[in-house]
């Protein structure tokens, strides 16, 4: 049986992960409208990964005998005007998510819930990668996004990102 507080935090995190997917689909909508299909693709792949994080957490709770409950998913509230706006907002958002995962990890540690700590190890690593990816995007945009040719090349690069389902996903996801 999971610690009650830890289970509640993971349940809440499912909502945050689904919000993350909403947010990144919203970014993809913005870029689609601007004709930047590579950027659009990059965030569509990212949104699928966020959805998968929610699936993994839901499965973990259910497999641990916890009744999962859903709350309302907020509307994405980031104002998007410049091409850089989603990239900066994405970085900020990933830093926020890292703080949430850390808080769950700390609660699990406090409750001596080693099973959940092990489950969360994957997410701790994933957050490190996601923050790095978001930082790299901001850097590349600063370097190359200032002129049409650079932006075109960057868009081509981001078009190459493909979705790879995590090996941690439940078999029937």
- The residues binding ligand FEO (CB under 6 A) are 17, 20, 50, 53, 94, 97, 130
User: Which CB sits closer to ligand FEO, 96 or 152?
Assistant: 96
How far is 169 from 21, CA to CA, in rounded Å?
A: 16
CB 50, min distance to ligand FEO, A: 5
How far is 131 from 95, CA to CA, in rounded Å?
A: 7
Give yes or no for a contact between 7 and 61, defined as CB atoms under 8 angstroms apart: yes
User: Which CB sits closer to ligand FEO, 68 or 151?
Assistant: 68
User: Which CB sits closer to ligand FEO, 95 or 150?
Assistant: 95
CB 150, min distance to ligand FEO, A: 26
Give yes or no for a contact between 113 and 3, defined as CB atoms under 8 angstroms apart: yes
Known binding residues for Fe cation are: 17, 50, 53, 94, 127
How far is 93 from 96, CA to CA, in rounded Å?
A: 5
């Amino acid at each position: 049986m999971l610690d009650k507080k830890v289970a509640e935090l993971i349940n809440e995190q499912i909502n945050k992960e689904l919000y993350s997917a909403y947010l990144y689909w919203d970014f993809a909508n913005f870029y689609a409208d601007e004709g930047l299909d590579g950027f659009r693709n990059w965030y569509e792949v990212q949104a699928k990964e966020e959805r998968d994080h929610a699936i993994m957490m839901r499965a973990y709770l259910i497999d641990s005998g916890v009744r999962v409950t859903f709350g309302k998913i907020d509307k994405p509230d980031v104002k998007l005007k410049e091409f850089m706006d989603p990239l900066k907002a994405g970085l900020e958002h990933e830093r926020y998510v890292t703080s949430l995962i850390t808080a769950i990890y700390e609660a699990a540690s406090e409750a001596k819930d080693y099973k959940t700590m092990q489950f969360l190890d994957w997410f701790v690593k994933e957050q490190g990668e996601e923050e790095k990816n978001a930082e790299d995007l901001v850097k590349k945009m600063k370097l190359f996004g200032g002129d049409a040719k650079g932006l075109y090349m960057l868009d081509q690069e981001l078009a190459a990102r493909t979705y790879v389902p995590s090996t941690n996903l439940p078999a029937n996801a």
